[in-house]
Each structure stands twice: as structure tokens, then as C-alpha cells.
Amino acid sequence: MTTIDLKLHQHFTNRELSFLEFNQRVLAQAQDPHVPLLERVRFLCISCNNLDEFFEIRVAGLKQMHDAGASQTGADGLTVEAQLAAIHERALELVQEQYACLNEALLPALTANGVQLLGTEDLSPAQKSWLRDYFHGEVEPVLSPLGLDPARPFPRIQNKSLNFIVQLSGEDAFGRDSELAIVQAPRSLPRIVELPATMGGGFVLLSTIVQAFVAMLFPGMDVRGCHPFRLTRNSDLFVDDEEVDDLRRALEGELAHRRYGAAVRLETGVTCPAEIVDFLLEHFTLTRADHHAVNGPVNLNRLSALVDMVPRPDLKFPPFTPVLHRRIAAQPDLFTAIRHQDILLHHPYQSFSPVLDFLRQAAADPQVLAIKQTLYRTGANSPIVDSLVAAAHAGKDVTVVVELRARFDEEANISLATRLQEAGAHVMYGVVGYKTHAKLCLVVRREPEGLRRYCHLGTGNYHQGTSRAYTDYGLFTCHEGIGSDVHEIFLQLTSITRTPTLQHLLQSPFTMHAGLLARIAREAELARSGRKGRIIAKMNSLVDPEIIEALYKASGDGVQIDLIVRGVCCLRPGIPDVSENIRVRSIIGRFLEHPRVYCFGNDNKAEIFCSSADWMERNFFRRVEAAFPILDPGIRDRLLSDLELYLRDDMQAWQLGPDGRFSRVSPIGEGTVSAQQQLLERYTAQGALNP
């Protein structure tokens, strides 16, 4: 029998190109006429924001490697140079589709529904007069036109800021011929302005207003052109944990420079003259491949404000109210409810408020002695932090592991760490060299039987805002073994201790990778022995080559494998003799699918873990992560039912082919299935699911 080489490059998809495919699926939501119109605008903005972050981090990193002469390849075999070339081609297609969606679909549909985004040519004389007054009173006072000449060099351009390069002719007050000037739009200015209803209403972009009245900034000069442009910069922060004495102070220093990292991409309008584009590219040391000429505003992200400004609920998803878990509704004392039985919350269908109440009750309960918590992202003015501060003020032992390096939340996390320290909490920043990404909360309570540990373990962040937009699971338990494991992890994060031996949890960077490989191998052994090997796994990203090879081997042994991967997937399903028994689908819908759930058939004794970790090398080896088992049989059945529902989805599902491209799943018959909609209806109708 011929042995198949599972490491061949053609068996893997490039991570960066897979991300662009994910963003294509997000854009498809904006193109879908079945999605409410203003939600389509929101999805368009999300796809643009995703692309921004992709260039700020991933492309910026590749360009650094290229400039340093690196040529190493990943499992897919693409060199750094080949990746950049492929990204340029694919990203250009994506940007063109984004603006085609805006101009050919969304703007006409908005106009047809009475929501007008007006250009200069659409304005009536009265509207132009009102906007002129608005420009004079609200915009002009905060603008600082900057001429370009030897005495006035090109100003520093902030990352993703709105700027205009203005072509001029004539002499200024000092008799100088100034041909170019830069106008920077401060972030304090609203990017969309609503016209009064007395003038017919409508909305106008700030860039349209500036271009229409820019001549008012240059009296006596002839304005020959005004061209908006936007620069994307490298936004990754580099701090060598082992080389700094104070991680927090080092990060604060880096944050000051984030807005001015190396230039990565230049966006201009399609009408910007070639000589101006060349001038900007040369100044920012960019090439033609780094330039995107767009047919519309240079920052589509700003259109997200329109969604909130337009009071049209008929053009948005129907509102819903997350329901309170039935057992918690019947027993508001969470410690009593958890002692009775484990409780699994499914957000956003079920309310996040029990998580907030868990901390509030712990802070106020005189029997609670200690609270330990990990915080990765919490959002501004977090009630979680309020409760931790209250607990510290009440004299309880409060220990919080704050991940300062949560990307784009660094500044907020430094602020909340300061607040917690001032309240008397013990604040730690995790372990040098590893991000703390696990979602854990531990409450130690004195009870008649002795001390008892109550835990909340989640797949998502302790963030009230995202709990309404992301799907996630959170488990409440006072199981002695799980509580002991969580306690050991906190000891590891806050003290100096040996690697703990955990009874139930899998933990990165120690046991998770090996534990998953062992369970995949177990399913393969079951299949080889004639029994049923089965794996269902749901996650955001699947990248790790060793895990992928193990899945390929298990597929070859006859294991039936279903993967629900929202974003990046480097595995290629359906390759003859390699991955014939693997199916990969992606669900893109109203809510962002965020939970990680791993189900191993285990010879009809299903073993299910929920986790904070995707199947990526960084999660396995460079982060502190936790995967917690579902021990309650009823909850286990419920999770398995949820996974099977996602596998039946034929409304919001995409299927991955052997070529690395996703195609939309076609509805089968009349009985179409949308997993998110069914879950929404089920929870709403029943109030909450038991257990």
C-alpha cells in the first residue's frame, strides 16, 4: 500500500489567503438582498475594518520579514514574497467588490428607501448654503491647512486618518508659489453630517463637505484639486518581555508610536491624478502594489455611523431580548443555583447578566473570601471591573490577571489595571512570553461544609457589549475537580510554581496540544478496530499543521470529521486518500460565531470540551488557554444538539472545497435551516433551555 505524504504543500491553504476568503464571506452578507438593508451596510463596514486590521498586522508583519530578507515558508510552501504578491491580487479584488457593493447595490437601495447619502452634485442651493455655514462654523475652526515647501515639510500622517492633498496655484501672502498643501481631518469631527429635515434631510460625508468648501481655507489661491487619502500603518506593538523591567511602562511607550508605524497601504480616490499618487507613494516609501484606488470614500468603515443615525427598525434585524436562564430566574441566588447543578449559558440568546450578578453577589457576600479573575477584553466602564473594585474595597482577596497585550485594547487594559490596583486588588500581567487568553473566574466561599470553589469558565471575553453580538458559551460549576484545576492555573499565573497536574482541564502551553492529538488518535484507533470514530469541532481558526496532519491521518483511518470553522482554515477537505472523510463549513450570520467546542465520539461516550483556544500554534504554545470538559450529561447532550444543528444549516453555511475556496450551501428542499434563527426562536419561545 502506497504511503501518502500528509505534509505535501498542496494539502494546506495559506493562512493569509484563507483570511481573505473569510472576509469575502463577510462581504457576501452585505451583498445578500435577504439581509436587512442597514445590516448590509454594517457588514460592508465590518469587511472593511477586517481588511484594515489584516494590513495593519498580517501584511505589515510579512513586509517586515521581506525587508529583512526572510524567505521561510509555512506548511503551504509559499515564500514571503509569493504571499505578498498573492495578497495584493486577492485584496485588490476584494476592495473592488466592496465598492461595487456600495455603489451598485447599497446606495441605490438606501435611496429607494428614503435614506440619501448625498454627493456635491445632489445638493440643492439651500443645502449647499447650510453646509457652507456648517463648514464655516464647525469644520474650518479645527482644520490646520499645511503648505508644503522647504520650510514646511510633509506633516506626520496618523494611521487610518482622513487627509486631503490639495493642489494650488497662485502666490500666498509672502509671495511664494505653493503648489501643494495637506489638510488633516481631526478625529473629533463627525464623519457623517445629517441635513435638517426642513431641507429634505439626507446625509453628507465629511469628505464631501471638505472637498466642496476647501477653497475657503486658501483665500486668494486657486484650488485646482482636492484629493482625500488614507494611510494604513503597521500597528503591531513589539515589546520583548524578557528585556524590560516593567511591561506596563514599556507598552505605554509603544502605544505612543502606534499611530505612526511603518506605512503599509495607501488609499486614494480613483480620480486622484497619477502624479499625486506617485508623490504620496514616494513620500511614504510604498510601491504601486501598496496602492488602492477606490471608487468612493477612502474609509468605508465610517458608514457604520449611518446605521445608528437612521431610525428605521424596518431596515435592521428585529430586536430581541436575551432571556434569563430558567434555573437562575427561579433561584436568583447564584451560589445556591450552582450548588444544585452545573449551568451552561449560551450567549447572546441567554442573558450575560448572570455573569455580572455572579461577581456582584460575590463582592457583597460576607462568606466570600477571595475572587480570582482573568481579563482579556472587558470594554469601557465594565461592570465586571466595578464588582472587582467593590470586592477589594470590602476587604476580600481580589486577584486579577490582566492581559495588557490584548491587541488594540492595550490602553484600556492599562487603565483598568490602574483602577484595580488603586482599589487594593492584586493585579498581575500573566507570564513573561505568553498571553493570558483563558476566560476564568474563581470565587472561594466559606460554607458549613468548609471552603467551596465556584467557577465560571467561558469561551468568550468578559465583555458585556460583545455578549450581545458574539455567540459564546459560559459554564457555572462548583465541581471540586474543576475548581481545583482552575485554582492551580491561577497559582501558576500569579506565583512561581511547577507545571500543575490538572485533573480535568486541558491547558496551553502544556497539555492542550498533546491532549487533543491523543484524542484524535483515539478516534482513529476506534475506526481502525471497526468501531465508530467521530470528531465534531467548532472554532474560529484552524492553522496548526500538526493537528491538521493528525486529522488527515484519522480521516484515512475512517474517522468521520466535521469541522465548523468561522474564519481561517488551512486544512483542505475532500482530497482523495487524504481528507475524504473531512467536511468543513463556515457559518456567517447575524451573530459572530465565537465559541470553541471540541466533541470526540469516544465510542458513543461523547467527550466534549469548551475552550478559549483556536487550533493555532499561537494558542497551543504562546498563550495560556484552557479547555474545560462538560461533565453534566444533560448539558453535554444540549451541546451536541447545537453542533448537529449547525451541521444542518443550509441558509448561512458555506462549504470548503479541496481548492481552499468556500461556496455557499444551497438550501435543500423547502425545510431550510438557519441555526442562529432557530436558536433565537427556541430560546425566545421557551424562555430558557434546561439544563
Q: Kindly tell me the sign of the dihedral angle through the C-alpha atoms of 333, 334, 340, 341.
A: positive
Q: Kindly tell me the sign of the dihedral angle through the C-alpha atoms of 600, 602, 605, 607.
A: negative
590-616 pLDDT, tens digit per residue, is: 999 999 999 999 999 999 999 999 999
Average pLDDT (149-168) is 89
- Can you name the residues that pair with 539 across neighbouring β-strands? 565
Please give the Cα distance from 609 to 628 (Å, whole number).
5
Do residue 81 and residue 208 come from a single domain? yes
3-state SS class at 72:
coil
Tell me: cis bond preceding 691? Omega within 30 of 0 counts: yes
pLDDT for the residue 686: 73
Please give the Cα distance from 591 to 597 (Å, whole number).
17
Please give the Cα distance from 266 to 514 (Å, whole number).
44
Given the residues 88, 292, 437, 487, the one annotated as active site:
437
SS3 sequence of 582-610: EEEEEECCCCEECCEEEEECCCCCCEEEE
Give the cell for residue 32: 445578500
- Per-residue buried b or exposed e for 318-336, using 16+ beta carbons within 10 Å of the residue's own CB: eeeebbbbbbbeebeebbe
pLDDT for the residue 585: 98
Residue 393 confidence class, pLDDT cut points 50, 70, 90: very high
Taking a C-beta distance cutoff of 8 angstroms, is the pair 142, 188 a contact?
yes
- Comparing CA positions, the residue from 689, 678, 686 lying closest to residue 644 is 678
For the chain, the residue count is: 691
Do residue 27 and residue 139 come from a single domain? yes
Please give the Cα distance from 475 to 592 (Å, whole number).
19
Task: Give the strand pairing for 203-205 and 592-593.
Answer: unpaired
Within a domain: 3: no
Choose the weakest-confidence range: 48-62, 102-116, 166-180, 401-415: 166-180
Do residue 16 and residue 157 come from a single domain? yes
Decide if pLDDT at 157 tops 90.
yes
Average pLDDT (120-136) is 95
Phi-psi region of 421 (alpha: psi -120 to 50; beta: other; left: phi over 0): alpha
Do residue 47 and residue 180 come from a single domain? yes
Within a domain: 412: yes
Residue 410 confidence class, pLDDT cut points 50, 70, 90: confident
Output the domain CATH number for residue 102.
Answer: 3.30.1840.10
Average pLDDT (554-583) is 97
Do residue 431 and residue 356 come from a single domain? yes
Residue 317 confidence class, pLDDT cut points 50, 70, 90: very high
Q: Any long-range contacts for 149-158 (C-beta under 8 Å, 24+ apart)?
A: 149/176, 149/178, 154/182, 154/283, 155/182, 155/184, 156/260, 157/184, 157/231, 157/284, 158/184, 158/231, 158/259, 158/260
Give the cell for residue 494: 500569579
CB atoms within 10 A of CB 38: 25
Q: Active-site residue 437, yes or no? A: yes
Do residue 177 and residue 147 come from a single domain? yes
Average pLDDT (657-667) is 92
3-state SS class at 457:
strand
Taking a C-beta distance cutoff of 8 angstroms, is the pair 660, 21 a contact?
yes
What does the mean pLDDT of the chain come to? 93
- DSSP class per residue in 210-244: HHHHGGGGSTTSEEEEEEEEEEEE-------GGG-
Give the cell for residue 176: 511664494
Q: Could you tell me what percent of the chain has a pLDDT over 90?
A: 84
Give the cell for residue 671: 425545510
DSSP 333: -
Domain boundary among 449, 466, 501: 501
Total count of domains within the chain: 3
Taking a C-beta distance cutoff of 8 angstroms, is the pair 214, 201 a contact?
no
- Comparing CA positions, the residue from 561, 482, 471, 478 lying closest to residue 519 is 561
Q: Which helix (H) or strand (E) covers residue 620, if one does?
A: helix 617-621
Domain boundary among 261, 296, 315: 315
Domain boundary among 471, 501, 531: 501
Decide if pLDDT at 496 tops 80.
no
Taking a C-beta distance cutoff of 8 angstroms, is the pair 342, 480 a contact?
no
pLDDT for the residue 113: 97
608-654 pLDDT, tens digit per residue, is: 999 999 999 999 999 999 999 999 999 999 999 999 999 999 999 99
- Can you name the residues that pair with 615 across neighbouring β-strands? 542
Range of the domain at 339: 326-501
Q: Which residues are CB-neighbours of 487 under 8 A, at least 6 positions away?
A: 372, 442, 453
Do residue 489 and residue 517 come from a single domain? no
Do residue 271 and residue 372 come from a single domain? no
Residue 115 confidence class, pLDDT cut points 50, 70, 90: very high
pLDDT for the residue 70: 85
Within a domain: 624: yes
pLDDT for the residue 559: 98
Do residue 192 and residue 241 come from a single domain? yes
40-85 pLDDT, tens digit per residue, is: 999 999 999 999 999 999 999 999 999 988 877 889 999 999 999 9
592 half-sphere exposure, CB direction, 13 A CA radius: 18
State the residue for C-alpha cell 492551580. Answer: 488
156 φ/ψ angles, rounded to the nearest 5 degrees: -70, 135
Q: Which residues are CB-neighbours of 671 under 8 A, at least 6 positions away?
A: none
Instruction: Name the E strands within 503-611.
Output: 506-508, 534-539, 560-565, 582-587, 592-593, 596-600, 607-611
pLDDT for the residue 1: 41
Please give the Cα distance from 645 to 514 (Å, whole number).
29
Taking a C-beta distance cutoff of 8 angstroms, is the pair 21, 584 a contact?
no
Q: Could you tell me what percent of the chain has a pLDDT over 70?
A: 94
Average pLDDT (194-210) is 95
Instruction: Name the E strands within 153-298.
Output: 162-169, 180-185, 192-194, 203-205, 222-233, 263-269, 291-294
Average pLDDT (369-387) is 94
Within a domain: 320: no
pLDDT for the residue 411: 85
What is the residue type of 566?
Answer: R
pLDDT for the residue 690: 46
pLDDT for the residue 251: 62
DSSP 29: H
Decide if pLDDT at 688 tops 50.
no
Do residue 474 and residue 517 come from a single domain? no
Do residue 310 and residue 332 come from a single domain? no
429-468 pLDDT, tens digit per residue, is: 888 889 999 999 999 999 999 999 999 999 999 999 999 9
10-40 pLDDT, tens digit per residue, is: 999 999 999 999 999 999 999 999 999 999 9
Decide if pLDDT at 174 tops 70.
no
3-state SS class at 674:
coil
The radius of gyration of the chain's CA atoms, rounded to the nearest angstrom, is 27
Do residue 23 and residue 168 come from a single domain? yes
Within a domain: 321: no
Please give the Cα distance from 174 to 384 (Å, whole number).
59
pLDDT for the residue 626: 98
Choose the weakest-confidence range: 149-153, 163-167, 171-175: 171-175
Within a domain: 678: yes
Taking a C-beta distance cutoff of 8 angstroms, is the pair 398, 444 a contact?
no
Output the domain CATH number for residue 467.
Answer: 3.30.870.10
Residue 501 confidence class, pLDDT cut points 50, 70, 90: confident
Please give the Cα distance from 688 to 305 (Å, whole number).
33
Q: Which helix (H) or strand (E) covers residue 293, if one does?
A: strand 291-294
